Amino acid sequence: MRSRTTFVRALRQCLESFQGQSARASAGAHAGQVAKGSAQTAARAVEIDTQAFPWKTVGLAAAGATLMAPTSQSACAPATEAPATSAPIDLSHAGMEVPKSQRTVVFVLGGPGSGKGTQCAKLVEEFGLVHLSAGDLLRAHMKSGTPDGQMVADMIKDGKIVPSHVTISLLDKAMADSGRKAFLIDGFPRNEENRAAFEKQTQIQPAFILFFDCPEKEMEKRLLGRNEGRSDDNIDTIRKRFKVFLESSMPVINHYKEQGKLRSITADRPQDTIYTEVRKLFQEISV
């Protein structure tokens, strides 16, 4: 089983290999923006470029980071605007696949509208982790014209959980395409089937689970006010999603609680107050 120590080691390795550079890769986050919400942003999850920013932040950020990718550049494009540096370059950022055994994952869970995507965007901004939202990847997939796209669209509209093999394939591909090692996986695993299939297929155990604990009333208010044109942000589907969360996702959260891996955050507070607590979890492991 992969431990917290392993997570720290992986992050340190990244840190060491990226001194002098900062980077950021995200499933849907521009700096300072909320990560969720559109197929376009999800598509960016797998578009990582190798251009380097000057060193900006400390800790995991340094570990991290590749830039948000301009869509015209391939993952293997040379670092045309990189500042001069004698620091070693991690080839994982140049399009080479990182071995699955070196991947480190934090699952980000919580009810619909609990603020997972919002807080992930802040973590991406500060720590440079790769944010992969399962929902965003599925929404992009449903628009991709593939044969199961309509099935995924119907299931999302109905608040149902898409078969694990579809979601895991998308996550696995996004992880591989990123060329990176440390991931925030948001909205996954949603049920026991998701959890067991991910472990079996990837052999990855999460470092820990970041859980946003939020009352339904508050989540409902947020979802109804989100206004991103999502097919499932209507009161009928929202109620179905709450039911699925209680019946299918809570057992997964309880499983990780029993394993001592749950880091629970009270989520019906202002975003910045929440983030102050969230970031400490990641600072702890970056020192």
Ligand X SMILES: Nc1ccn([C@@H]2O[C@H](COP(=O)(O)O)[C@@H](O)[C@H]2O)c(=O)n1
Per CB under 6 A, 190 contacts ligand X: yes
Q: Which stretch binds ligand ATP (CB under 6 A): 17-25, 61-69, 114-122, 253-261?
A: 114-122
Per CB under 6 A, 143 contacts ligand X: no
Task: Say if residue 83 carries a ligand binding annotation.
Answer: no
Per CB under 6 A, 187 contacts ligand X: yes
Per CB under 6 A, 118 contacts ligand ATP: yes
Task: Say if residue 217 carries a ligand binding annotation.
Answer: no
Per CB under 6 A, 113 contacts ligand ATP: yes
Considering Cα of 172, then 177, then 182, then 188, what sign does the dihedral take?
negative
Binding residue (CB under 6 A) for ligand X from 46, 75, 140, 155: 155
3-state secondary structure (DSSP) of residue 72: coil
- How far apart (Å, rounded) are the C-alpha atoms in residues 124 and 107? 14
Contacted by 190, from ligand ATP, ligand X, none: CB < 5 to 8 Å by type: ligand X
Cβ atoms of residues 63 and 14 within 8 Å: yes
- Between 66 and 167, name the residue whose CB sits nearer to ligand X: 167
Binding residue (CB under 6 A) for ligand X from 48, 65, 109, 134: 134
Task: Say if residue 269 carries a ligand binding annotation.
Answer: yes
Give Cβ neighbours of residue 32 (< 8 Å, ≥ 6 apart).
121, 125
- How far apart (Å, rounded) are the C-alpha atoms in residues 156 and 237? 9
Binding residue (CB under 6 A) for ligand X from 64, 159, 179, 206: 159
Q: Nearest-CB residue to ligand X?
A: 135
Applying CB under 6 A, the site for ligand X has a residue count of 17
Per CB under 6 A, 271 contacts ligand ATP: yes
What b/e string do you get for 22-36 counting C-beta neighbours within 10 Å, with b at 16 or more?
A: bbbbbbbbeeebbbb
For residue 256, give the DSSP letter. Answer: H
Which residue in 207, 258, 237, 280 sits closest to 113, CA to CA?
Answer: 237
Long-range Cβ pairs for the range 224-233 (8 Å, 24+): 226/37, 226/113, 228/36, 228/37, 228/38, 230/37, 230/139, 231/153, 231/156, 231/157, 232/112, 232/156, 232/157, 232/159
- Between 112 and 179, name the residue whose CB sits nearer to ligand ATP: 112
Task: Say if residue 92 carries a ligand binding annotation.
Answer: no
Work out how close the CB of 28 gets to ligand ATP at its nearest, in angstroms, rounded to a whole number.
Answer: 10
Cβ atoms of residues 96 and 179 within 8 Å: yes
Which residue ranges make up the annotated binding site for a ribonucleoside 5'-phosphate? 139, 160-162, 187-190, 230, 241
Q: Footprint of ligand X on this chain (CB under 6 A)?
A: 112, 134-135, 138, 155-156, 159-162, 167, 187-188, 190, 194, 232, 241
Residues near ligand ATP (CB under 6 A): 34, 36, 110, 112-118, 135, 187, 222, 226, 270-271, 274
